[in-house]
Amino acid sequence: MYKRAIILAGGKGTRLKPYTIALPKPLVPIGDKPILEIIIKQLIENGFEHITITINHLADIIKAFFGDGSKWGIKIDYSLEEKPLSTMGPLSLIADLPEDFLIMNGDVLSDINFSTLMQEHQNNKNIFTISSHKRKQKCNYGILEIGENKSLIGFKEKPVVEYDVSMGIYIANKKILKYIPNNQAYGFDQLMLDLIADNNPASVIRHNGYWLDIGRPDDYAKACEDVELVLKGVK
C-alpha cells in the first residue's frame, strides 16, 4: 500500500527561542539528529514512500538539509507557503494527495506506530483521525464550586485535571479538501468545527505510549533527555 506523509514545517518556532533564532524548529537537534530527521526515519520504518514538507520560515535551510530524500532512500518534496497558512491551509497547495495520507507537525517526538494508525483509519473509513494523548495538569488554584444562590457547595484544593489533547499527528481522507479554502489560512481547529457542523466528525484514537511536543524550551530539554530511550530503534 502506497503511503504518503505531509509534514508541517512552516512555523517560526517563536516559543522555542533562542534555539530557533538561526535554525528552523524542525532542524533543532534532539540528541545528535534534528527532530525532523528523526521523524523521517520513523516514517521510513513504517513503510512510507513519499514525504512532502510544507515550508515557509527559513525554507531554504530545510531544503538544503533534506534535499530530495535520496540519502535516506525516500522521496521528499516541498510545498512552499508564500504566506502563513496555519495547519490545514497548506494542503490546498498540494495537488497529488492520495485517498488517505498522514499529516503531522514537524516537532513531535513519539513512539507511535504510524502504520497501525493508518490501518485503523482506513478500516473505520474515517474522514479524519486524530491521534490523542492523555495529559494531567495540576491547577495552581483552589477551585470553588458555587450553587445557584451563590453559596459554596464544594471545594477542591489545587486538583489534578486529566484531558485528551491532540498529538499533532493525523490521518486524513482527501474528502477534507472540500472544506479547505485555496491558499488561505485555515487551521486544524476550523476544520474540526466544520466537520462537526457538517455531521461528519473526526475520530479519535488515543496513544498510550510516549509523546512530546518540543515547542517550549522545557519540553525540548525533556525530549533531549528521553530521546535514546524512546527512539532506540532509530538508526
- Indicate the pLDDT class of residue 12, thresholds 50, 70 and 90: low
Q: State yes or no: pLDDT of 20 exceeds 70.
A: no
Question: Per mean pLDDT, which range of 88-92, 171-175, 176-180, 213-217 is the poorest?
Answer: 213-217
Q: State yes or no: pLDDT of 22 exceeds 70.
A: no
Give the three cell numbers for residue 209. 505510549
List of domains in the chain: 4-132+165-230 (3.90.550.10)
- Indicate the pLDDT class of residue 228, thresholds 50, 70 and 90: confident
190-220 pLDDT, tens digit each: 999 999 999 999 999 999 999 988 877 777 7
Indicate the burial class of 105 (C-beta count within 10 angstroms; 0-12, 13-18, 19 or more): buried
The DSSP result for 28-53, as a single string, is: SEETTEEHHHHHHHHHHHTT--EEEE
Model confidence pTM above 0.95: no
Q: What are phi and psi of 148, to 5 degrees?
A: -65, -30
Q: State yes or no: pLDDT of 19 exceeds 70.
A: no
Residue 217: per-residue pLDDT: 73
Q: State yes or no: pLDDT of 92 exceeds 70.
A: yes
45-88 pLDDT, tens digit each: 999 999 999 998 778 888 999 999 999 999 999 999 888 899 99
Residues 113, 119, 122: CA angle, nearest 5 degrees: 145
Residue 13: per-residue pLDDT: 47
The answer to whether 52 and 77 are in contact (CB under 8 A) is yes
Mean per-residue pLDDT, 163-182? 96
Mean per-residue pLDDT, 134-139? 89
Taking the C-alpha atoms of residue 49 and residue 32, their distance in angstroms, rounded to an integer, is 24
Mean pLDDT for all residues in the chain = 89
Taking the C-alpha atoms of residue 6 and residue 8, their distance in angstroms, rounded to an integer, is 6
pLDDT exceeding 90 applies to what percent of the chain?
67
The answer to whether 94 and 79 are in contact (CB under 8 A) is yes
Residues 118, 183, 98: CA angle, nearest 5 degrees: 25
Taking the C-alpha atoms of residue 109 and residue 224, their distance in angstroms, rounded to an integer, is 10
The answer to whether 62 and 27 are in contact (CB under 8 A) is yes
Only one residue has cell 479554502, namely: 181
Q: Which residue has the higher pLDDT, 25 or 117?
A: 117
User: What secondary structure letter does DSSP report for 177?
Assistant: G
Residue 44: per-residue pLDDT: 96
- Indicate the pLDDT class of residue 10, thresholds 50, 70 and 90: confident
Taking the C-alpha atoms of residue 7 and residue 52, their distance in angstroms, rounded to an integer, is 6
Give the three cell numbers for residue 153. 457547595
Give the three cell numbers for residue 181. 479554502
